[in-house]
Structure 1
């Protein structure tokens, strides 16, 4: 049986799951009401070999796992640009194995769909969701790899604890598809 990581990152089955949970933990430390954040996911061994100064800056020593992915936060996403439009402008260099995005949204239970008024504009729909009594704030962290692998972590504001984070491959399929598209084209 292996010991848990010393940095507090939860044990996880795959390097992508570990990276997504590491990003979730990082953004949780920043608190709520944060802007969306984009991360490149790079192979840790390759990063140490090709960018030793950056690896040192990031605190990645020789003892790092050989199958790990290192999240590298990118520049801030421009304000006023729709997320899907912004993602459509991204092209990653070959050294990037994958990418991840963390974003906060309001979520409603499936039962709320039956009470949704018809014909709402985007602004009206946003306002309706924001005022709905069953709304919940959620932070979604979604990561994808070039090979198509994907992982998500969801954290509800009302259950804001690492032990309450839900993970799964297809929790946010639309966002995973948008991130995957940054590796094609």
Structure 2
């Protein structure tokens, strides 16, 4: 990633049914969510660089043409999938190794996790952490499988898209800037010198 340029990897193609959103960052998060949805569930985490679409068209016209990005394409951010995240390496450790080139204006990560509804969180045994907590959540009858897509920009803007496996539909994706604050912080840290 530190030596990668945005043109090194093929970005996901926007899905025809991706909902329109007010903010370009929200549109990018939803586009990545829709791409991940097309791959199915039980997939590893995926990391994306976000590049300014207008600058990409101007600075890399061949790549933009190859990706179907033309002058009529909406302004915003083009997600470019990065190399696969190494298996067996903790996500926070991996994110700590990333350095982005200047052409990357933001990044996004999509990851699947098990979550408990707020009503069940109160029943977590005190002091339980790490692998033991993960096993406890996995065995809980109210657990929910979710795919979280979190996007951040160098300037600090954040967006998240959360899809429940049981409601796997583009119309059922929850968005908001503060839905996954810890992951947003970890992604924002990849832009710190």
Alpha-carbon deviation of 1:6?
A: 8.9
The DSSP-based 3-state class of the residue aligned with 2:122 is helix
Kindly indicate whether residue 14 of structure 2 is the aligned counterpart of residue 10 of structure 1: no
**Alpha-carbon distance in 1 for matches of 2:97, 2:56:** 24
Seen in structure 2, the aligned counterparts of structure 1 residues 164 and 29 have a Cα distance that, compared at 3 Å, is same
TM-score (normalised: structure 2):
0.89
Mapped contact 2:33–2:161 kept (Cα < 8 A):
yes
**Alpha-carbon distance in 2 for matches of 1:85, 1:132:** 28
Name the counterpart of 1:179: 187
Seen in structure 2, the aligned counterparts of structure 1 residues 81 and 44 have a Cα distance that, compared at 3 Å, is same
Unaligned runs of 5+ in 1: none
Query: Could you list the per-position Cα deviations for residues 122-143 of structure 1 after superposition, in whole angstroms to 9, with x for gaps in the alignment?
Result: 2211111000000000000000
Alpha-carbon deviation of 1:39?
A: 0.4
**Alpha-carbon distance in 1 for matches of 2:78, 2:124:** 41
Residue 164 of structure 2: which of 142, 156, 168 is its match?
Answer: 156
Name the counterpart of 1:115: 123
Kindly indicate whether residue 42 of structure 2 is the aligned counterpart of residue 33 of structure 1: yes
Name the counterpart of 2:55: 46
TM-score (normalised: structure 1):
0.93
Query: Could you list the per-position Cα deviations for residues 1-47 of structure 1 after superposition, in whole angstroms to 9, with x for gaps in the alignment?
Result: xxxx9932211111100000000010001110011000000001111
Equivalences for residues 83-102 of structure 1 within 5 A: 83-102=91-110
Task: Supply the RMSD in Å over aligned alpha carbons.
Answer: 1.5
Query: Could you list the per-position Cα deviations for residues 58-99 of structure 1 after superposition, in whole angstroms to 9, with x for gaps in the alignment?
Result: 22122112x311000000000011001111111111111100
Count of matched residue positions in the alignment of Structure 1 and Structure 2: 180
Mapped contact 2:15–2:34 kept (Cα < 8 A):
no
The DSSP-based 3-state class of the residue aligned with 2:21 is coil
Name the counterpart of 2:6: none
Equivalences for residues 57-68 of structure 1 within 5 A: 57-65=66-74, 67-68=75-76
Residue 165 of structure 1: which of 173, 176, 179 is its match?
Answer: 173
Kindly indicate whether residue 28 of structure 2 is the aligned counterpart of residue 19 of structure 1: yes
Equivalences for residues 102-141 of structure 1 within 5 A: 102-141=110-149
